[in-house]
């Protein structure tokens, strides 16, 4: 992983932890699952453009999907 991938991993991980804590505190499933996904997906995606696409989709998921 290069520097850009590491930086994106840290950014998406920070957003994911905020989503996870928010979802747990509010008792909402969608932000909590998006937070878990944002924290975990950088381990499996190494391409920077794919990482951006998956990360943006997971960041937008709580607004688009209501469970």
Q: In terms of DSSP H, where are the helices of the chain?
A: 3-26, 29-40, 48-64
The Cα-based distances of 57 to 4, 29, 39 in angstroms read 19, 16, 13
Q: Over 70: is that where the pLDDT of 1 sits? A: no
Q: Are 32 and 17 in contact (CB under 8 A)?
A: no
Q: In whole angstroms, give the CA distance from residue 23 to residue 53.
A: 22
With bands split at pLDDT 50, 70 and 90, how would you rate the model's confidence at 16? Answer: very high
Helical axes 3-26 vs 48-64, angle rounded to 10°:
20
DSSP code of 43? G
Question: Mean of the per-residue pLDDT values for the chain?
Answer: 93
Give the count of domains, the chain.
Answer: 1
Residue 33 is predicted with a pLDDT of 95
Range of the domain at 25: 3-64
With bands split at pLDDT 50, 70 and 90, how would you rate the model's confidence at 66? Answer: confident
What is the arithmetic mean of pLDDT over 18-46? 95
């Amino acid at each position: 992983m290069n520097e850009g991938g590491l930086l994106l991993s840290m950014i998406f991980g920070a957003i994911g932890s905020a989503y996870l804590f928010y979802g747990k505190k509010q008792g909402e499933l969608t932000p909590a699952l998006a937070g878990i996904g944002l924290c975990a997906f950088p381990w499996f995606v190494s391409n920077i453009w794919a990482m951006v696409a998956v990360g943006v989709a997971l960041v937008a998921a709580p607004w688009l999907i209501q469970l």
